[in-house]
Structure 1
Amino acid sequence: MSAFVVTGTDTGIGKTIFSAALTGALHAHYWKPVQAGLDDGADRDHVASLSGVPADQVLPEAYRLNTPCSPHRAAELDGVVIDLAQLALPAVRPLVVEGAGGALVPVTRSTTYADVFAWWNLPVVVVARTALGTINHSLLTFEALRSRGVPIHGVAFVGEGNEDSEATICAMGNVKRLGRLPMLARLDRESLAAAFAENFRVGDFV
């Protein structure tokens, strides 16, 4: 059964929205191991409302931290020590696992998410925006993952279409273009599921 990690080229680019869409399309379990920042609600709450999967398939975080910043620092501010053993993958499948921010965001003072991805050894979907700067951010992300032996399943774009940038990223990065999730005028479970079905092939994730 399918299991994927979703990471991004940056923070705030739509990674959680894509994760919710993928979770719903695969009828998967969802897990974000470290949540840093609770002012706008946890990402698992957004996925629960947008994916349409049963509540018990949206798994609790290993760590739930208050400050919206890099997990290593959020943990320090909360007086928490992140034990990497607590980030072992759940046994359930299908499974969508969401990282935080980009691939090189520190989980601890000595470990990045990319290092954890290498330990998990799951295929990674890189979510990239389509705005200015995305080519550089995307290619750097691919290099960081490959230097650790992390398998890249493909890239999912989010935003208004930019054919040249998207094609350049996929060609130069030698990655599969999975599709592009457009900006939605109304974001709810139905509109997100319809947008994913129109712009992605579920067979690419099975």
Structure 2
Amino acid sequence: MTEALPLVLASASPARLSTLRGAGVEPEVVVSGVDEDAALAQARLRYGDLTPAEVALTLARVKCEAVVAGEEPDALVLGCDSVLELDGEVHGKPGDAAVATERWRRMRGRSGTLHTGHWIVDNREDGTGGTLGATASTVVHFADLSDAEIDDYVATGEPLQVAGAFTVDSLGGAYVSAIEGDYHAVVGVSLPLLRELLLEVGVTWHELRG
């Protein structure tokens, strides 16, 4: 076997790391520390209003580019970010129990769209220098939870720190009745989309596995 090409994941998400590892890829994790609100405010000043999909892609890009600028890794760098679109509004991580509870009372028995932005920079010394991205959007159908179920789920703490206040691969899995699209994109990184982006910079998927 040849040595795997180096990949840096510009994300603190354990679900993204687990997804990549499950696919045979072992990235180095470097957290960007980007101020998301400031980054979005700057993007809106420059480009105007952003769609929910553009919000996800913008955050993925700034996180990726921050790691490239700060660490200057001799590697492929992947940034990702996810947001939930519900009633045309963008929802990220709730941050506290009251917000998570209110969010779930709006979501239950309904559907939303989970947008996951992906941004790649080929920062290898002998690479292409390419930089590009795309967003994977997946419709998520939520179960009609009772108030007691919502309270119990929020009390676990899980919904507070994940985009949209839910997971599909962990404690929240029982509360997602169906998805339309790529399961892995809901978890946090779309493997098929990532493969396509890598091909654009001349890298085949199996080269990440070595």
Q: TM range, normalised to the smaller chain?
A: 0.3 to 0.5
TM-score, structure 1 normalization: 0.33
TM-score using structure 2 length:
0.32
| Structure exhibiting the larger radius of gyration computed from Cα positions | 2
